[in-house]
Amino acid sequence: MIITFKLDKDLGVRIRTNCLVNNKGKSSITSKDCDFVKRVFLFLLLLSFVVSTNVFAQQKVPILVYHSINEFTGHGLKGLYVTPENFEKQMVYLKNQGFTLLTFEHWKDRKKVNKPIFITFDDGYKNNLNAYSTFQKLQNQNFQPTATIFVIADFVGRPNRLSAVELKKLASSGFFSIQSHTATHPDLTKTTNYEYEFKASKEKIEQMTGKAVIALAYPYGKFNEKVLDVVKKYYQFGLTDSTLIHPEMNDENKNYLLPRQYIYYSTTLEEFARIVN
């Protein structure tokens, strides 16, 4: 059987089936079978449309990911830096354009507020304090900036990372939600120590901040079915580092495969505006 479809100005898609014939000139599939297969194919086509619609609806709220907010001095990957000056310009743009910055504790509010957007930082670098300073500078009655910092629990207190005292201060400031980037930042598709990476990191961060940890960002954006199953035991949200639509995306997994858009050192304000809009 050959199934073809083409766009139709009235119906959207027109389905046509052609039964193949065998070498004796007889149909290898009955017309009844053809009709059944056509109905199944149409059902699957409509189902895929519904799933795609849900996925695109999920993606309408931009989730941005930053790493270091600092001048690049040759340490690390330049692309993962954003200068404090550029970061401030980007936040001023969001302020002037009427965006509402949210954290994952207020995920449901995305349907209620004007132009919702999520700002996230990965790894818990000490220079994220520059973002804190920017938020303090820009806040007013009409603009209450907030963001989420995903920290690696066992890296807290290292020379270039935020300390437990600083995380407590940020979590209490009203500007930041502190969430998990696992305990040791492994490739989750190659580890089996899930309880430590997910449960222990959650508990450690909660002890530091006194706040609930409900979201996890996958290191390197890597995950598999087993990872998703375990993450669901401890978290309400899981974030990738890609804007791609994952094959695993469905109603059950949609909050655990949230796509994010990188903001780079080279991202211009014009590019930033296109990304958030």
Residue 30 reports pLDDT greater than 80: no
pLDDT of residue 38: 59
Task: Indicate whether 144 and 239 sit together in one domain.
Answer: yes
Mean of pLDDT values over 15-27 = 48
Judged against a pLDDT cut of 80, whether residue 261 lies above it is answered with yes
Q: Quick one: 127 and 249 in the same domain?
A: yes
Confidence of residue 242 (pLDDT cuts 50, 70, 90): confident
Residue range(s) defining the domain that contains residue 128: 60-276
pLDDT confidence of residue 252: 80
Per residue in 51-91, pLDDT (tens digit) is: 443 443 444 799 999 999 999 999 999 999 999 999 999 99
Taking a C-beta distance cutoff of 8 angstroms, is the pair 17, 214 a contact? Answer: no
The reported pLDDT for the residue numbered 155 is 98
Q: Does residue 75 sit in the same domain as residue 15?
A: no
Q: How confident is the model over 96-143, as pLDDT tens digits? A: 999 999 999 999 999 999 999 999 999 999 999 999 999 999 999 999
Same domain for 141 and 179, yes or no, is yes
- Segment 176-181 mean pLDDT: 98
**Claim to verify: residue 22 and residue 158 sit in the same structural domain:** no
Q: Answer yes or no: do 237 and 180 share one domain.
A: yes
Long-range contacts of 226-232, Cβ-Cβ distance < 8 Å, separation of 24 or more: 226/194, 227/188, 227/189, 227/194, 228/253, 228/256, 228/257, 230/194, 230/198, 231/198, 231/256, 232/256
Among 56-65, 163-172, 245-254, the range with the most confident prediction by mean pLDDT is 163-172
Domain of 237, CATH number, reads 3.20.20.370
pLDDT at 40 over 60: no
Going by C-alpha positions, the residue among 264, 277, 274 that lies closest to residue 87 is: 264
One domain for residues 34 and 69 = no
* pLDDT the model gives residue 28: 53
Q: Are residues 31 and 120 in the same domain?
A: no
Beta strands in the chain (DSSP E): 2-8, 12-18, 63-66, 68-69, 81-82, 100-102, 116-123, 147-151, 176-180, 215-217, 237-239, 261-262
Residues 193, 261 share a domain: yes
Residues 6 and 104 in one domain: no
Contact call for residues 180 and 85 (beta carbons, < 8 A): no
- Dump pLDDT digits (tens) for 180-211: 999 999 999 999 999 999 999 999 999 999 99
Residue of higher predicted confidence among 42 and 216: 216
Across 21-25, 34-38, 40-44, 61-65, which has the greatest mean pLDDT?
61-65
pLDDT digits (tens, 9 = 90+) for 136-163: 999 999 999 999 999 999 999 999 999 9
Residues 204 and 155 in one domain: yes
pTM: 0.79
Residue 183 near residue 250 (C-beta atoms within 8 A): no
The pLDDT confidence band at residue 33, using thresholds 50, 70 and 90, is low
Looking at every residue in the chain, the average pLDDT score rounds to 85
Task: Pick the more confident residue, 9 or 275.
Answer: 275
Are 36 and 86 in a shared domain?
no
